[in-house]
């Protein structure tokens, strides 16, 4: 990774914006892979503005690398004031904001953020249209609980083989 990007990431994670659960969020999306411990959850809260429903606030929690945290910090700022449609149109390389382009091996960090954002916005759309599968934000386990549950499931699939001597 080049030095200037590394510096920007360090600066972003030294003072991450919008980290933590968002009280009274309208929607939430979680993506990740508990096998490698990378999980990201993003909350979104909307408001009405001159007849448009726009994103008022967004926040995140992450079990990801520093790059994922830095991108989530940027992205939660960038989507403020956008409609769900406008935010959904943003690709992972736009969500990196001031970080700029990421090297190939770090692109999935931004895709993690993009995935969580899409999941949150799609969940809100389902809620608004009454589609099945809409998530009630209050009933969601914490990110730590989700990760532990997934790990327990994964452990349940492990078989310990004893070697016969």
**Out of 8, 18, 27, 38, the residue judged to bind ligand FES by CB under 6 A:** 38
Check residue 65 for interaction with ligand FES (CB under 6 A). Answer: yes
**Out of 22, 39, 87, 109, the residue judged to bind ligand FES by CB under 6 A:** 109
Check residue 67 for interaction with ligand FES (CB under 6 A). Answer: yes
Q: What letter does residue 139 receive in the DSSP assignment? A: G
What is the crossing angle of helices 66-78 and 3-14, to 10°? 70
**Out of 12, 25, 44, 112, the residue judged to bind ligand FES by CB under 6 A:** 112
Task: Name, in order, each residue with C-beta under 8 angstroms of 124's C-beta and a sequence gap of 6 or more.
Answer: 26, 27, 44, 46, 84
- Other C-beta atoms within 10 Å of 163: how many? 4
CA distance 159 to 13: 39
Q: What residues are labeled active site?
A: 36, 109
Q: How far is CA 6 from the centre of its chain?
A: 21
- Rounded least distance, CB 32 to ligand FES, Å: 8
Total residues at interface with ligand FES (CB under 6 A) = 8
> Which of 29, 64 has the CB closer to ligand FES?
64
> Which of 13, 88 has the CB closer to ligand FES?
13
Check residue 64 for interaction with ligand FES (CB under 6 A). Answer: yes
Q: What letter does residue 145 receive in the DSSP assignment? A: H
**Out of 8, 41, 92, 108, the residue judged to bind ligand FES by CB under 6 A:** 108
Q: How far apart are the first and last CA of the chain?
A: 49
Check residue 68 for interaction with ligand FES (CB under 6 A). Answer: yes
Cα–Cα distances (Å) from 129 to 29, 123, 132, in that order, read 17, 10, 9
Residues that bind ligand FES (CB under 6 A): 38, 64-65, 67-68, 108-109, 112
């Amino acid at each position: 990774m080049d030095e200037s990007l590394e510096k920007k990431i360090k600066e972003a994670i030294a003072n991450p914006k919008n980290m933590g659960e968002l009280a009274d969020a309208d929607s939430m999306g979680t993506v990740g892979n508990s096998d490698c411990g990378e999980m990201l959850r993003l909350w979104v809260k909307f408001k009405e503005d001159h007849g448009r429903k726009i994103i008022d606030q967004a926040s995140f929690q992450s079990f990801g690398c520093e790059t994922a945290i830095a991108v989530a910090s940027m992205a939660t700022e960038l989507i403020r004031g956008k409609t769900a449609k406008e935010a959904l149109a943003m690709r992972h390389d736009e969500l990196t904001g001031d970080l700029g382009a990421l090297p190939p091996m770090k692109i999935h960090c931004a895709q993690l953020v993009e995935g969580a954002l899409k999941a949150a916005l799609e969940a809100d759309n389902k809620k608004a249209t009454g589609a099945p599968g809409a998530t009630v934000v209050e009933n969601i386990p914490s990110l730590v609980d989700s990760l532990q549950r997934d790990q327990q499931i994964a452990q349940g699939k492990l078989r310990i083989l004893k070697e016969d001597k």
